[in-house]
Structure 1
Amino acid sequence: MWFLLGAPWDSSGTGRGEARAPAALRRAGLSRLADVDLGDAATVITSTERDSATGVRALSDTVAAARTLAKALRDGMAEHPGHRPLVVGGDCSLLLGVFTHLRATIGDVGLWMFDGHPDYVDPLDSDTGETADSELAILTGNGPAVLTGVGPMAESRHASDDGPAALKGAAPMVASRHVALIGHRTADLDAESAAELARLPADVVTGADALTVDFGVPTWLHIDVDVLDPVVMPAVTYPQAGGPDFEQLAAMMAPLASSPSLVGVSVADYRPDLDPDGTCAARLVALLEAVL
């Protein structure tokens, strides 16, 4: 059984289309896949200011959104025991709220992450400062301490004396050895993308092993829809050629979605403003119905 929770989260703070995804996917029939629809958490980000010390865009709004989503998840799981959460974003930064909740309530948790990109950019090196460039790095403790909770500061270049209170406690939200990164592009990369890929910790599971790995801990399944080839999923902010089609993605997801270790699912980065006839929304709902 599932409960649905929207997270209209756009880390750019510009009101880009990702924030409208939960509503669009509900119109396409997503609510019928869940036993309970809890509506949307108040994860709206409006700031476009970039923190000078950390490089993070909308830093205070991001911390507030993560805490809000974590509380909504905690309340949803308490009020609906026996239900797994299906969280629909928004962009991939919603994982900061998901894992703030999971780490506090469960402890060690793994992540199966389908994404066309590693999302492992240092915020100071990001062109935009959006946490959607960096959330996997942050989750594994590699980034600003105000978001990772590691250290007093993860690195001196991330130090900030006047930012918001730290998001969480003393350990990474997820150990890198408990992460499987699936579907990210590894060939024909530009220099920046290659440098991002090189930053991945060596113990992150990739390749064929990522589709069968069991970390021995409760594990979250995340799907960034830009993992799909843009020929079949053009409604994303950062399309990248070379991904699977819907049928191939369903086949890759199926064994993970049926695993007894699965604790919940999130979907991110669909842009309804780039999908005027709703075709992509309908195909995403059909994918989730087939797999979940």
Structure 2
Amino acid sequence: MAEDVAVAVQGILDAGGTPLVLGGDCSITVGVMAGFDRVAREPALLYMDGGPDLFTPETRPNGNLDAMGVAHLLRLPGHLPELAAIGEPLTPARIVSYGDALPEAGDDLERDLLRELSISRIAAADVHRDPRAAAERALEAVDGSFVLHFDVDVLRFVDTPIADVPDSGGAPVGLSLHEAMTSLSVFAGSPALAALVITEVNPDHAPDRDVLNDFVTAVATALAAHQ
């Protein structure tokens, strides 16, 4: 699947387009970044997600690759070579983690890895304080062209229940739809946006069509800022 995504993204880039990739789990972003590798471009990765996906098969007992995408892009110990080899490895300096709901105290593998690898991090708490300012800080951190990965599990599931794996819980942990869309509008307004990936939407989790329609309308409105 990631290989198919890489081929499709390469074709869009060769044609001078800006890829919009919808669907699947977070491992599709491995394919997106590989597509850029194949046209000799090296954008940063702005990772808007309930978690930074730094697990490997050795550290994630339930084995879902959805939580391992960035670990494979970085080729952390324990990654699956057959997935990572689709593209070139990323360096931590090319990644910004945005909106994660990781605990600030106690043991947490992903939070500790973010610190150990010196990956720029803007947590959910930062976005709650001022979503526009947080998004602008993220743009400063990427410092150039970037791929925006937007996993809907960054949203507060009790308010917008559309994620396949609802990791972000309730208030005040996950982002509100308003906070996420304010951030997205800032990112979309940047001429440095090279691609957008939206993952994890599971319509079967929405209690009614209005919830999904509200999300789609909000995304379309936020993307209207993109030129």
Both proteins in one fold, TM over 0.5 = yes
Give the aligned partner of residue 96 of structure 2: 180
Secondary structure, counterpart of 1:259 in structure 2: coil
Q: Post-superposition shift, 1:85?
A: 1.4
Give the aligned partner of residue 185 of structure 2: 254
Is 1:109–1:218's contact at 8 Å kept on the other side of the alignment? yes
Is 1:119–1:135's contact at 8 Å kept on the other side of the alignment? yes
How far apart, CA to CA, are the structure 2 residues paired with 1:219 and 1:134?
A: 20
Give the aligned partner of residue 54 of structure 2: 120
Give the aligned partner of residue 129 of structure 2: none
Please, which runs of 5 or more residues in structure 1 have no aligned partner?
1-64, 150-166
Q: How big is each residue's C-alpha offset from its partner over 1:73-121, in whole Å with a ceiling of 9 and x where there is no partner?
A: 2223334x3x311110111111011011112213322011111112111
How far apart, CA to CA, are the structure 2 residues paired with 1:280 and 1:99?
A: 30
> Is residue 219 of structure 1 aligned with residue 146 of structure 2?
yes
Secondary structure, counterpart of 1:199 in structure 2: helix
Please, which runs of 5 or more residues in structure 2 have no aligned partner?
123-133
After superposition, the Cα gap between the structure-2 partners of 1:260 and 1:77, relative to the gap in structure 1 and judged at 3 Å, is same
Give the aligned partner of residue 60 of structure 1: none
Give the aligned partner of residue 110 of structure 1: 44
> Is residue 243 of structure 1 aligned with residue 186 of structure 2?
no
Give the aligned partner of residue 71 of structure 2: 137
Higher radius of gyration, 1 or 2: 1
Secondary structure, counterpart of 2:75 in structure 1: coil
Q: Post-superposition shift, 1:211?
A: 2.5
Secondary structure, counterpart of 1:238 in structure 2: coil
After superposition, the Cα gap between the structure-2 partners of 1:85 and 1:289, relative to the gap in structure 1 and judged at 3 Å, is same
Q: How big is each residue's C-alpha offset from its partner over 1:171-205, in whole Å with a ceiling of 9 and x where there is no partner?
A: 41x321111111101337785xx122212243211
Amino acid at match of 1:134: M
How far apart, CA to CA, are the structure 2 residues paired with 1:196 and 1:182?
A: 13
Superposition CA RMSD, Å: 2.1
Secondary structure, counterpart of 2:142 in structure 1: coil
Give the aligned partner of residue 119 of structure 2: 204
Q: Post-superposition shift, 1:260?
A: 1.5
How far apart, CA to CA, are the structure 1 residues paired with 2:91 and 2:118?
A: 9
2:161 counterpart (229, 234, 258): 234
Q: Post-superposition shift, 1:210?
A: 4.8
Give the aligned partner of residue 97 of structure 1: 31
Q: Between Structure 1 and Structure 2, how many residues are aligned?
A: 204
Is 2:12–2:18's contact at 8 Å kept on the other side of the alignment? no
How far apart, CA to CA, are the structure 1 residues paired with 2:93 and 2:56?
A: 20
1:76 counterpart (1, 9, 12): 12
Q: Post-superposition shift, 1:229?
A: 0.7
Q: Output the TM-score relative to the length of structure 2.
A: 0.81
How far apart, CA to CA, are the structure 2 residues paired with 1:179 and 1:283?
A: 30
How far apart, CA to CA, are the structure 1 residues paired with 2:138 and 2:106?
A: 26
Secondary structure, counterpart of 1:126 in structure 2: coil
Structure with the higher helix share, 1 or 2:
2
Amino acid at match of 2:58: L
Question: Where do 1:140-179 residues align within 5 Å?
Answer: 140-142=74-76, 143-149=79-85, 167-168=86-87, 171-172=88-89, 174-179=90-95
